[in-house]
Amino acid sequence: MAQGARRTVGQIVVVVVLAVAVAAFLSVAAARHGFFDLQVYRGALVWWARDGGELYDYLRPNTQYGFTYPPFAALVMLPMAYLPWHAAIVVSVAAGVVTGAVLIWWLLDPVARRAGWTRWFAFAVALCLAAAFEPMRETINFGQVNTLLLFLVAVDLLRLLPRGSRWAGVGIGLATAIKLTPGIFLVYLLVTGRVRAAVTAVGAATGATVLAAALFPDASREFWTTALWNTGRVGELAFVSNQSLRGVVARLDPTSPSTLAWLALAAATVALWVWRSRVAASAGDSAAGLALTGAVMCLVSPVTWVHHLVWLLPGLLLLVDHGMAAPSRSRRRGVLLGAATVGYGLLISRIVWAWERDFTGLDGFLFSNTYVWISLALLAFLPVRRPAVAEMPPGSVVEPAGVAQLDQTERRTPAGQRHLIGRPLTVR
């Protein structure tokens, strides 16, 4: 058997073994939520579209949970009211898996190209690891929309904005119209000087909201005047699943959490985010902007359930990216890859749940808020890539949009080998 064929067979074996190991891990570690949130969505939509009830009056039987998203989200999800329950599960799982997989491909493929990894193998390994990632598996098991929102934002920041597309901002606008929290990416566009994209995002969000109001005036009036302000529908702030700064403060004093302390922490966190986001924007590092803003959104949102932490996935992947870009055996590579490994390990461990019933004391403070500390570490220390102009080889040119153009030598090189240009030859 040729060496290449043996390598491929070996990689297939590794992927199969890893997939089996992840499946075994999930059978033990993954909580079974029975698509709880999907049941809430579908129950509210059936009640509203088919049974003649009011959308925001619905509560899942024997719970306090109802539909909490804007009316445009109800419009997007409306077909679910007419799907059988098991078909709705299939659509939800497929949407979560596909959008998550595309995001991973966008962030990981450049790393694989630079490092000379087999691209399909790197992608397959990453998908297996993502399946074990607690926020991802919680998103799937609850039937949540987190990966869809992350995908919409990533389309803007990873694909459209770096290319100077006039459509940049549409994804952020639609994500904000579906759920309000991604609106912080609109603020990101403003604080980093992307005014045109910010205007586009505002236009998309406004257009979607107005469309929903025109189609469903009663539901829109109910949401914006009443349901939006009913915080009791989202759950208990001190619950250990709330991995936000508000959750940290609430667990210090569950009976009367200090709003002032939360606002002070949130203000300091936002100030740090503004500074780091501007640094990333000046370097043209939109991927870092995505990761930093995802982390700050998780931190300053009043409620950040564990499944919302899929927004930390870009940050972990970028740690791997920067680690692999560092010189081999360098201290920087070890630190960055070690940080990615530790962060990922904690985010698959369910460590916070060991303090679900008692989060008092120093150990409770430290470990019940583990995922908050990871978000803060990513916000404060995630590396930002240097400006592309400083890294371009002699003879390259830059268009007004800032995209490096290949010189003639690179244009004649096969696309699959361009990542090797200018690098010393290595013996494999």
Domain count for the chain: 1
**Cα gap 116→279, rounded to integer Å:** 29
Residue 82 lies in a domain: no
CA 388 to chain CA mean position, Å: 25
Distance (Å, whole) CA 239 – CA 257: 12
Q: Residue holding tokens 């403003």?
A: 190
Task: Tell me phi and psi for residue 91, to 5 degrees.
Answer: -65, -45
**Residue 368 domain-assigned?**
yes
* Among the listed residues 148, 171, 134, the one whose alpha carbon sits nearest the alpha carbon of residue 346: 134
| Domain extent for 349 | 238-386
pLDDT of residue 401: 35
Residue 47 included in any domain: no
Whole-number pLDDT of residue 233: 61
Predicted confidence at residue 1, as pLDDT, reads 64
- Phi/psi of residue 22, nearest 5 degrees: -65, -40
Q: Torsion over CA of 385, 379, 276 and 307, rounded to 10 degrees? A: 90
Residue 249 lies in a domain: yes
Q: What is the reported pLDDT for 5?
A: 86
**The two three-digit tokens of residue 426, written as one number:** 């290595």
Number of residues in the chain = 428
Q: Torsions phi, psi of 404, nearest 5?
A: -65, 135
State the burial class of residue 24 (Cβ atoms within 10 Å of its Cβ: 0-12, 13-18, 19+): exposed
Distances from the Cα of 285 to the Cα of 105, 125, 409, angstroms: 17, 25, 26
| Two structure tokens written together for 179 | 């759920």
- The DSSP secondary structure of 333-372, one letter per residue, reads HHHHHHHHHHHHHHTTTTGGGGGSS---HHHHHHHTTHHH
The pLDDT of residue 253 is 94
pLDDT (tens digit, 0 to 9) for every residue of the chain, 428 residues total?
Answer: 677 888 999 999 999 999 999 999 999 888 888 999 999 999 999 999 999 999 999 998 888 889 999 999 999 999 999 999 999 999 999 999 999 999 999 999 999 999 999 999 999 999 999 999 999 999 999 999 999 999 999 999 999 999 999 999 999 999 999 999 999 999 999 999 999 999 999 999 999 999 999 999 999 999 999 888 876 666 689 999 999 999 999 999 999 999 999 999 999 999 999 999 999 999 999 999 999 999 999 999 999 999 999 999 999 999 999 999 999 999 999 999 999 999 999 999 999 999 999 999 999 999 999 999 999 999 999 999 875 543 444 443 433 333 333 333 333 444 444 444 333 333 33
In a domain, 186, yes or no: no
Q: What is the DSSP string of 145-166?
A: -HHHHHHHHHIIIIIIGGGT-T
Query: Is residue 292 a part of any domain in this protein?
Result: yes
In a domain, residue 258? The reply is yes
pLDDT given for residue 30 in this prediction = 83
In a domain, residue 317? The reply is: yes
